[in-house]
Amino acid sequence: YGYFPTLGGKTTFPQATDGTSVTIDADKVLEDLKFVFMGSLDARKGRWGAFTDVIYMDLGNTKSGTRDFTPGAHDLPTDVQANVSYDLKGWAWTLAGTYVAIESPEHVMQVIGGARMLKLDPKVGWELTGDLGPIPLPGRAGSLEADDTYWDAIVGAKGRYFFGAERKWFVPYYVDIGAGESKLTWQAMGGLGYSFGSWDLFAAWRYLDYEFKSGSKVENLNFNGPGVAIQFR
């Protein structure tokens, strides 16, 4: 499948040896998708089954003259701007067991329980321009990076509601919620599809959100946007 989200969130990079730390609003800097891989697999025997979903993204951009950047504990002075390069590599991997709770010609729903792993590798480089008098020399240019992995337990449901004379049209949906190493994560998806024998084609809107615990380098992160998929059964 293909997923085309906008990305939102805020990252506070760890302090360097010179005491510098920086905060950046990812959604105001990131624009370019370098590489992406996405796939999903569902196996079932009787009412029991397993489900996995993998997203890998490599995003990056360079932005000149931005003020969506905070070096240290204070915002940029009025007459100072930043030239920022920001790269973000990340994995989101969901693995869960499934059980068919509803199965009829019109509606199939599976409840799910499992875990989601989020691995993030953000990197930032910056150079400040303007009246730099109040900014210490070590904070005027530099680069920092972070590397974090979060595991969370999740529960949820996914399924399809069929309609039409031959029940070829369907509404796919998915929802989960969980917590663990993050404070809260949740995901929701809904769309519209059509079946061609063993092949299905559908479009959907998907939202994946993370809120992290106090002190985490990544404060929050979300993916929000449309997707299209072709599925073989």
Residue range 210-224, pLDDT digits in tens: 998 887 777 788 888
Minimal CA–CA distance to 61: which of 14, 112, 15, 25? 25
CA-wise closest residue to 152 among 189, 123, 117, 187: 117
What is the reported pLDDT for 173?
97
Q: How confident is the model at residue 88 (pLDDT cuts 50, 70, 90)?
A: confident
137 has pLDDT over 60: no
Q: Name the phi and psi angles at 138, rounded to 5.
A: -65, -25
Burial 113-129 (b: 16+ CB within 10 A, else e): ebebbbebebbbebebe
CA pair distance 229, 37, nearest whole angstrom: 13
Relative to beta strand 218-232, strand 69-71 is: unpaired
Distance CA 154, CA 181 (A): 12
Span 176-202, pLDDT tens digits: 999 999 999 999 999 999 999 899 999
Confidence of residue 17 (pLDDT cuts 50, 70, 90): very low
* pTM for the predicted model, two decimal places: 0.78
- Per the CB < 8 A criterion, the answer to whether 115 and 177 are in contact is no
8 Å CB contact between 60 and 84: no
Report the candidate in 71, 96, 77, 93 with the shortest Cα–Cα distance to residue 20: 71
